[in-house]
Each structure stands twice: as C-alpha cells, then as structure tokens.
C-alpha cells in the first residue's frame, strides 16, 4: 500500500488498484474513525479499497477515489476501443454506380 510518506505534496495520485477488505482488524487499521466506511463495512461485511492508503489524500494535491475513480473512465475507453476494433474488422464497402 502506498503511504503518505511515499508521496510528494505536489503529486496527483491516480489509484487504479481495487481490493476487498473483509477483515475487521485490517479495516480498523486503515479506516479507524471513518463513520461512512464503518457503516458500509458493517452492512456489507467488506469494503473496497485501492492501493493507496486513504491518509495520502491529506498529503497530495489530488487523488482519485476508490471505488468510483478511474473505473468509469476505464470502462468508457474499453467500449470506445471495442467499437474502433469492430469498425477496423469490417470489410471496406465499395459503392457501384
């Protein structure tokens, strides 16, 4: 996990990792005092996290959230590239008069 000590204060952090925490001990060591996350964890028995410790947000200039950060952009680019590949595979159409 990337910790605050590893990050430059001028950095923009793009967290593309996604992991599920289902251990209460691990959850408590990362999210102690985060009421919103605690509620989610209590309801679901797990929570999604990235590869960057949440406290990095206190150090860096900007950070993508997990979940909900780069996921939507990744999906959009995957769909765009799929359409592009499909168009490239189609045979060229010629028009005759």
State the pLDDT confidence band at 96, using cuts at 50, 70 and 90. low
pLDDT: is 35 or 90 the higher one?
A: 35
Task: Please determine, for residue 68, whether its predicted confidence score (pLDDT) is greater than 80.
Answer: no
Helices 24-31, 35-44: crossing angle, 10 deg rounding:
170
At 95 the pLDDT is 64
Domain range summary for the chain, segments of one domain joined by +: 4-89
Task: Please determine, for residue 92, whether its predicted confidence score (pLDDT) is greater than 70.
Answer: no
Task: Please determine, for residue 76, whether its predicted confidence score (pLDDT) is greater than 60.
Answer: yes
* Rounded distance between C-alpha atoms, residue 97 and residue 85, angstroms: 29
pLDDT: is 6 or 18 the higher one?
A: 6
Mean pLDDT for 61-72 is 83
């Amino acid at each position: 996990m990337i910790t605050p000590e590893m990050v430059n204060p001028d950095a923009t952090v793009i967290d593309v990792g996604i992991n599920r925490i289902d251990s209460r001990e691990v959850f408590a060591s990362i999210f102690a005092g985060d009421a919103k996350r605690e509620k989610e964890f209590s309801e679901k028995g797990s929570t999604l996290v990235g590869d960057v410790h949440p406290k990095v947000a206190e150090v860096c200039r900007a950070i993508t959230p997990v979940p909900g950060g780069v996921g939507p952009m990744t999906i959009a680019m995957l769909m765009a590239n799929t359409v592009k590949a499909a168009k490239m595979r189609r045979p060229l159409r010629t028009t005759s008069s």
